[in-house]
Amino acid sequence: EAQVTQNPRYLITVTGKKLTVTCSQNMNHEYMSWYRQDPGLGLRQIYYSMNVEVTDKGDVPEGYKVSRKEKRNFPLILESPSPNQTSLYFCASSLNGYGYTFGSGTRLTVV
Amino acid sequence: AQTVTQSQPEMSVQEAETVTLSCTYDTSESDYYLFWYKQPPSRQMILVIRQEAYKQQNATENRFSVNFQKAAKSFSLKISDSQLGDAAMYFCAYLRGSQGNLIFGKGTKLSVKP
């Protein structure tokens, strides 16, 4: 089944403890993106990647890192999480940038 | 910078009736795509419909159709014969050319009354 898989689905962590949210797609898509969703703000792009080793900042990149060493994987790294990064996170992928498939989301709580 | 505005935070419709969700956007580009995504309580993001800016014909997918007014930069979603399963958050989104940056509106929460 074609899909975007994010893990974990739920995560509670403490301020400052490094964490990684994984994202993997099995559709051989070129484009991958990370979004965060906050109430009343919609979804905002954190980082995106147009191919292996090619990444760029979205609208809200502060406090996040990404890497794209393989086409299928695009992990999101929070080096030192803070409470304002408590949010719902989505990974998405696209073959050509024109239509995205989203993962099921990761609910992150930083206390 | 491109922006997407959904002016209706919440809407309500009676089952079997028709409802229209509004979306406006701001861009100086001529080549772009517009989308409506549905997010039910399961929080999954589901693509409802897509419109290419170069196409004058409005997109239609079963009970879902759009009214795309390029000059007015308006992209509304019409849901006909509303069903209980249509209750969800609906997000309008803009994609600039092929840069892969989807810009979302803040969403409209649709309730469907039986």
pLDDT digits (tens, 9 = 90+) for A40-73: 899 999 999 989 999 999 889 999 999 999 999 9
- Is the predicted pLDDT of residue A9 greater than 90, yes or no? yes
Nearest residue, CB atoms, B102 vs list A100, A104, A105: A100
Distance, in Å, from the CA atom of A4 to the CA atom of A27, rounded to the nearest integer, reads: 8
B103 interfaces chain A, CB cutoff of 8 Å: yes
**How far away is chain B from the Cα of A46, in angstroms, using its nearest Cα?**
10
State whether B101 and A44 contact (CB < 8 Å).
Answer: no
Residues 39-68 of B with CB under 8 A from A: 43-45, 47, 50
How much is the pLDDT for B49?
Answer: 95
Residue A56 phi, psi (nearest 5): -150, 155
Q: What is the pLDDT of residues B85-110, one digit of tens each?
A: 999 999 999 987 656 678 999 999 99
Residues of chain B with confidence (pLDDT) below 50: none
How much is the pLDDT for B99?
Answer: 61
Peptide bond into A8 cis (omega under 30): yes
State whether B102 and A90 contact (CB < 8 Å).
Answer: no
Please report, for chain B, how many H helices and E strands are present, in that order.
0, 12
The vertex-A71 CA angle with A94 and A103, nearest 5°, equals 45
Distance, in Å, from the CA atom of B97 to the CA atom of B21, rounded to the nearest integer, reads: 24
A61 interfaces chain B, CB cutoff of 8 Å: no
**How far away is chain A from the Cα of B17, in angstroms, using its nearest Cα?**
27
How much is the pLDDT for A2?
Answer: 81
Q: What is the mean pLDDT of residues A100-105?
A: 94
Distance, in Å, from the CA atom of B79 to the CA atom of B67, rounded to the nearest integer, reads: 11
